[in-house]
Amino acid sequence: TQLRLRLTLPASAATPRAMKLEVSPRQRTQEAEQNEGLEAWKHPKQLCASLGYGEEEEEEVTRMVPPLNFGMVDDGVFRSGFPDAANFRFLASLNLRSVVYLCPEPYPEQNARFLGRSGIKLHHFGIQGRKEPFVGIPEEMIREALKVILDVRNHPVLIHCKRGKHRTGCVVGCLRKLQKWRLSSVFDEYLHFAAAKARKTDQRFMELFDTSSLVHLLASQC
């Protein structure tokens, strides 16, 4: 499978393995229910009325605007900063099945309503957003998030934190290591999204992250 990204990467980046699983009858039923919810977003004015949105919220929803720092990671895997109402119609167009949310705060009610109406499952991993030098990235929580992302039954999936830079960048960077990317290419992608806010501690974490306990999950989906 040819990897697709919104940014240009060095030729040295390795091509990730395909992630495929058989679709069960139960999953087909879930897909049908999700499609029914997503169909409603083709008629945003009626949907806004059913959700009790006011004129200002309705105006935001009817536009097609991607979230902050949005990008494609792989087939069926996306990343971004925190979406708001202005992004809902765009997200609906992705036919998302899951959202991996990396902040500790409860999911906003408006966003939760959008997920529920669209049949999207929320996977919440509460990683604290800390600045250097007081940084403690919970490795086990990163592993659990990756298990969700690696399971194609959760695709299409959106990974997001607050700005789509540090927590999201670390998760994606660890995924790239699992996909056998060169470390220089992992860092290039991280820096593309983090820009001036890049943290050496994030890069150190990705460099030292041990993928051995997750390799079997990737192999089982090839």
Query: Per residue in 104-143, pLDDT tens?
Result: 999 999 999 999 999 999 999 988 876 654 457 888 999 9
Residue (of 174, 215, 214, 210) closest to 79 by Cα position:
174
| Residue 128 pLDDT | 83
Active-site residue (options: 161, 170, 174, 222) = 161
Please tell me whether residue 142 adopts helix, strand or coil conformation.
helix
| Residue 23 pLDDT | 44
Q: How many domains does the chain have?
A: 1
| Residue 196 pLDDT level (bands cut at 50, 70, 90) | confident
Counting Cβ atoms within 10 Å, is residue 185 exposed (0-12), middle (13-18) or buried (19+)? middle
Q: Is the pLDDT of residue 13 over 60?
A: no
Q: Which of 125-129, 148-152, 209-213 has the highest mean pLDDT?
A: 148-152
| Residue 62 pLDDT | 61
Task: Using a pLDDT cut of 70, give the percent of the chain over it.
Answer: 66
CA angle 30, 31, 34 (to 5 degrees): 85
Here the CATH number for the domain that contains residue 76 is 3.90.190.10
| Residue 14 pLDDT | 46
Lookup result for tokens 């097609």: 64
Is 178 among the domain residues?
yes
| Residue 21 pLDDT | 41
Q: Is the pLDDT of residue 185 over 60?
A: yes
Can 161 be counted among the known catalytic residues? Answer: yes
Is 154 among the domain residues?
yes
| Residue 71 pLDDT | 96
Which amino acid would we find at residue 34?
Q
Is 5 among the domain residues?
no
**Residue 182 sits in which domain range?**
71-220
Q: CA neighbours within 13 Å on the CB side: how many for 175?
A: 26
| Residue 214 pLDDT | 85
Is 17 among the domain residues?
no
Is 20 among the domain residues?
no
Is 176 among the domain residues?
yes
Average pLDDT over residues 172-201: 93
Is 117 among the domain residues?
yes
More confident residue, 58 or 14: 58
Is 135 among the domain residues?
yes
CB-based contacts of 157, cutoff 8 Å, min separation 6: 76, 77, 78, 96, 97, 98, 99, 100, 148, 149
